Structure 1
Amino acid sequence: MATFQSLGVGSGMDLASLVTQLVAAERAPKQTQITTQQSQVAVQISAMGSLKGALSSLQSTLSPLKLAPSFNVFAAKSSDEEVFTASALASAQSGSYDVRVLQLATAQQISSAAYESGASTVGTGSLTLAVGEESFTVEIDSESSSLAGIRDAINRAEDNTGIRATIVNGTNGSHLVLTAQETGAANAISVSASGGDGGLDALTYPSDNASNYTVAREALDAEIEIAGVLHTSASNTIKEAIDGVTLTLRKADPDNTLSLNISRNLDTLTTRINAFVTQYNSAASTLASLQSYDAATQKAGPLLGDPLVRNIESNLRRELGRPIDGLTGDYRTLSSIGITMKLDGKLELDQAKLREAMEADFQAVQRIFSSENGVAVRLDSIVSPHLSADGSIANRNKSLDDRTKRLQDDQAALDARMQVIEQRYMKQFTALDSLLAQLQSTSLYLGQQLANLPKIGKE
C-alpha cells in the first residue's frame, strides 16, 4: 500500500494533501460538536467549583454564630499588666475584682560551698536528690567525683525529677548550683549522701552544717488576694481562683490594689459577625456573576437560568429578612441590630448599631443568630444540604463528570472512525494513482508510436 510520502508519485498530484483535507472536512462537524460540548462542560465544572467555594466560605462563618455557647466569649483585663495578666474562657462570668499580688511563686535555688575549680574532687558514693516527694539517685565514682563530674551526673540522670545542676565561678572559687525546675513551696530541694569516702556529705541539704549551701532563692508559693480572699498557688499561672479565668502573675506588688475586669468580648463577636457579612456578600457576588447577562456583549454567566443557583439565592435572601420567632422588644431582626440589605442584595453592617444592641440586650442578639430558628441556623440549613457528599452540588458534579467521560468516548470513537476513513481514501487514491500512472505510461507509448508513423511511410 502506498504511504503518504509516495501517494501521488504516479499521477504527479498532491494526493496526500487531498486525503488530509477530505478527512478534515469529514471530521469537522462532529469535532466541532464535541469540542463545543467539552468547553461547555468545563465551564460548568468551573462554575460549580465557584458555587461550592462561595457556599463553603459562607458556612465557615455561620458555624460560630449558630451555636449559643459560641457567644460566651469573655475578655479579662488587668489594670496593670506588668503585675498580672488575665484571660477568660466561655465558662467565665462578668464581674470586677480588687486584686493584690502579694508574692510570686519561685523555684528554689541553692549554692554549695566554694571549691577551687570545677575539676576539684568532692568525693564518691551515692547522692539522692529530691524535689518535693520525687527523688532520684546518682552514683558517683572516682571518674565522676569532681565538681564538674557531679554536675554532669545529675543532669544526665534519666530519672531526674526536676533539678538542674550548674557551676558558677566566683571570686572565692567554684560553686555547684542546684535549681528546681518547678516553682512552689512543695518543690523544695533536698540532697542526701551515702557510702563512698564521705566527701559527698558536703553536698547534703538541709544539713546541720550551715556552710554546705547558701539559699539563693526560696521555694515559695504565689500569694494573691482577690476580693479580700487569699489564694495560694505553686505556680504563677493561676486557674483555680476564679472559675473560667486564668491569671498570670508577673511581679509582686503587695502595696497596691489593682483591678480585674471580666466582660463579654464584644470586639471578638463583632469581628465574627462582620466576617459573616463579608462572606455573605462574597457569596452573593458569586451567585450574581454565575447568573449574569451582559446585554452589550450578549455574554451570559455559566449558570444563567439554572434553577439550583436561583433557588439558593432566593432562599438565602428570604431568610435574611424574616424576624425571629419568640423574640419581642426592639431586637428581632438583622436590621434591628445594624445589618441591612442593600438594593443589590448585599448586606451592610453598622458596627456602632450592632454594639449598641449587644450592650442593650445581648441575649436578643445571640438568639437572632443561634436560636432554633435563628438566622445562622436557617442559613446553614439552606447551605449544608448543597455541600453534603450526596447534595445537589456533588450530584451535579457527578453528572458533569459522566458527561466528560461520554465526550471522551465520543472523541475516541471519532478518532477511530477518521482513521478508517483515512485508510479508505488512501486505498481509493492509491488505486487512482496507479491507474493514472498506467494511463500516463500508455499515453507515452502511443505517442512514441505515432511519432514513428511518418518514418514508416517514407521508407
Structure 2
Amino acid sequence: MATITSPGMASGLPIKEMVAQLVALERAPLTGLQSQVTKAQSKLSIYGTISSLVTTLGDAGAKLAEANAFKAVKATSSLPESIGVTVAAGTPPTGFSLEVQRLAQAQNTSSAVVPAGSGLGAGTLTITLGNWGSGSFVAGTETPVEITVEEGKDTLADIAKQINDSDAGVTATVLKDATGERLLLRSKATGAEMGFQVEAADADAGDGKDLGRLAYTGAGSPSTLTQAGLNAQLTINGVAIESATNTVKDSVAGLTFELKKVTTGPVDVSVSNDKDAMKKTVQGFVDAYNAVMDLLATTTKYDPETKVAGSLQGDSTATGLRNAIRSMMRSSTPGGEFTQLLDVGIEIKSDGKMSINSTKLDAALDKPGELGKLFGATSDDPTQRGFGLKLDAFADGLVESGGTLSNRTESLNASIKRTNKEMDKVVDRAARAETRYLAYYNAMDANVARLNSLNAYITQQITMWNRNTG
C-alpha cells in the first residue's frame, strides 16, 4: 500500500489551503471582537483623562472656597533695597513709614597674633553667650561650652575646628597675613543678647606657650572686640523699636520687614488687596472648566462633513456628564450679595466656553467678603454651601467609587474582559476545528491512496490475464 507523506498527495486536493480557509472562517469573529476591544480601550483612556480633568475642576473649586482665597494682599516698599517687606494673607490694607537707624550686628573678636602653625599649649577655653550691656558681661541662659585643647592639637587651625564642631554659638576662622595668624570669632546670631566672652585656662603656664592669648573678657583682653553685638534700631510711624535680627516679625501683625540698609529718611510701606492674585485663582477655575468641557465636546461630536464621529459620540454617560456640569455652573448660593457665578463676571458664552467679564469681576473683588460667601459659605445643608464647596463635592462624587465616572470605567473594563474571553474562545474553537479538519481530510486522502493502490493492482492483474489468454 502507498504511504501518504503529504496532505493531499493521493487525492490531489489542496488540503492545507482548504483547511486554512476553513480555519479563517472560524477566526472571522476575531476582527469584530478586536474592534470592540480597541474602541472600549479608547473610551477607557478618554474617561481616564476626563476623570483627571474633573478632579482638577473640583480642586479649583476647593481653592475658591479657601478662607484666604479672596484675602490675598500685597505689600510694597518705596525703597526695597533698604527695607523689604512680606505680608500674610488676610492682613488688612494699611500703610506705614519706617526708618532704619542701625542694622543688627553679630559680635566679632580677633585674637592676638601668633606665629603661623605654632601651638598655644594645652588648656581649656570656655565660651559663654550673653549681653555686654554697658561694658560688664551678663551671661545668658545658654550653658557655657568648654573647649578642651590638648598638647599637639593646639594650633589655631586645631582650635578653630574644635570650636566649629561644638555648639558654642560662635564660628571660628583663622586669618593669616605676613605677621602670623589670628583667630577670628563671630556670633552665629545677631543682637545684643548674642554676644560672647571667652575665658582661657592654661594647663601649664610655665611651658612658654599661652592659650590665654585667645581670651576675651572685655576691654584690656588679649583678644580685641572688632564688632559689638547690636540690636537693630528702627522707627515705625515714629515709634522707636529694637530687633535682635534684621528680620523684624510681628512688630506689626501679618508683616515681616527685612532690614538691609540704614536709611536716610522715611520709607513708605503699604499693604493693599492683591487683585491680580485673586484673579489668578478665578482664572484657574475657568481654565479647569473649559478643559473638561472642551474634551467632552470634542469626543462626543459628529462632523457631518467628514462623517467622522468622536470616540464618545452617542455615549450617554458623556452626554449626561456635560449636562450635569453645565447645570452645576448655574446653581445658586443664597445668603449673600452674590448668588451666582454670573453675578461676579464668570459667564458661559454661546459656544459653551466660560469667560471672565473683567469689569464685573473687578467690581466684585472690591467686596472680598461677599466673594468669600459665594464660594466658601458653610452650612449643614449641602444646598446652602458656597459654590466652591459644592463643586468640590460634586467632582468627588463623580470620580469616587460608585460615582458616574468610576462606574463607567468599571463597565468598560468589564466589557474588555468579557470580549477578551470571547476572543480566547474563538481562538480555541478555531484551533480545535483545524485539528478536526486536518484529521478528516487526511483520512480521506489516505482512503483515496488505498483505492488508488487497489485500482493499480486490479489493472495490473487484468493486464497479465489478458496476456496469458491472448
Give me the TM-score of the superposition, normalised by structure 2.
0.88
Which of 197, 200, 203 is equivalent to 2:211? 200
Residues 166, 441 of structure 1: CA spacing in aligned structure 2 closer, same or farther, 3 A cutoff? same
**Structure 2: which 5+ runs fail to align?**
131-139, 379-384
Measure how far apart 1:90 and its partner are.
2.1
* C-alpha RMSD of the superposition: 2.4
Distance 1:39 1:447 in 2: 62
Whichever residue aligns with residue 392 of structure 1, its letter is T
Distance 2:332 2:424 in 1: 57
Distance 2:95 2:350 in 1: 45
Whichever residue aligns with residue 191 of structure 1, its letter is V
Whichever residue aligns with residue 22 of structure 1, its letter is L
1:411 to 2:420 alignment:
no
Measure how far apart 1:323 and its partner are.
5.2
Q: Secondary structure at the match of 1:242?
A: coil
Measure how far apart 1:452 and its partner are.
4.2
What is the 5 A alignment of 1:331-350? 332-350=339-357
1:433 to 2:445 alignment:
yes
1:363 to 2:374 alignment:
no
Residues 342, 389 of structure 1: CA spacing in aligned structure 2 closer, same or farther, 3 A cutoff? same
Distance 2:87 2:357 in 1: 27
**Structure 1: which 5+ runs fail to align?**
none
8 Å CA contact 1:91–1:243 kept in 2: the answer is no
Measure how far apart 1:78 and its partner are.
1.1
Whichever residue aligns with residue 7 of structure 2, its letter is L
Distance 1:222 1:362 in 2: 37
8 Å CA contact 2:70–2:369 kept in 1: the answer is no
Map of 2:98 onto structure 1? 99
Which of 254, 257, 282 is equivalent to 2:291? 282
Measure how far apart 1:428 and its partner are.
0.7
Residues 297, 91 of structure 1: CA spacing in aligned structure 2 closer, same or farther, 3 A cutoff? closer
Deviation string 1:354-390 (CA, Å, 9 cap, x unpaired) is: 224313x332333333335433233333322102233
8 Å CA contact 2:26–2:426 kept in 1: the answer is no
Identity of aligned residues (%): 28
Measure how far apart 1:113 and its partner are.
1.1
Q: Which has the higher contact order (CA 8 A, sep 6+)?
A: 2
Whichever residue aligns with residue 170 of structure 1, its letter is D
Distance 2:22 2:168 in 1: 89
Whichever residue aligns with residue 105 of structure 2, its letter is T
Map of 2:59 onto structure 1? 60
Measure how far apart 1:454 and its partner are.
4.9
Which of 385, 389, 393 is equivalent to 2:397? 385
Distance 1:202 1:5 in 2: 110
Corresponding residue pairs, total: 446
Residues 322, 153 of structure 1: CA spacing in aligned structure 2 closer, same or farther, 3 A cutoff? closer
Q: Secondary structure at the match of 2:276?
A: helix
Q: Which moved more, 1:399-408 or 1:78-87?
A: 399-408
Distance 1:412 1:72 in 2: 61
1:34 to 2:33 alignment:
yes
Q: Which moved more, 1:74-83 or 1:389-398?
A: 389-398
Measure how far apart 1:453 and its partner are.
5.1
1:295 to 2:304 alignment:
yes
What is the 5 A alignment of 1:60-459? 60-117=59-116, 119-132=117-130, 133=140, 134=142, 135-157=144-166, 160-198=167-205, 199-207=210-218, 209-210=220-221, 212-253=222-263, 255-322=264-331, 324-328=333-337, 332-359=339-366, 361-372=367-378, 373-452=385-464, 454-458=466-470
Whichever residue aligns with residue 74 of structure 1, its letter is V
Whichever residue aligns with residue 181 of structure 2, its letter is S
Residues 279, 113 of structure 1: CA spacing in aligned structure 2 closer, same or farther, 3 A cutoff? same
Map of 1:47 onto structure 2? 46
Measure how far apart 1:82 and its partner are.
0.5
Measure how far apart 1:127 and its partner are.
1.0
Distance 2:90 2:168 in 1: 34
Whichever residue aligns with residue 198 of structure 2, its letter is V
Whichever residue aligns with residue 110 of structure 2, its letter is S
Distance 1:207 1:250 in 2: 29
Measure how far apart 1:242 and its partner are.
1.2
Measure how far apart 1:447 and its partner are.
3.7
Residues 227, 16 of structure 1: CA spacing in aligned structure 2 closer, same or farther, 3 A cutoff? same
Q: Secondary structure at the match of 1:176?
A: strand
Give me the TM-score of the superposition, normalised by structure 1.
0.90
Whichever residue aligns with residue 8 of structure 2, its letter is G
Distance 2:84 2:92 in 1: 17
Measure how far apart 1:246 and its partner are.
1.5
Q: Which moved more, 1:214-223 or 1:6-15?
A: 6-15
8 Å CA contact 1:270–1:351 kept in 2: the answer is no
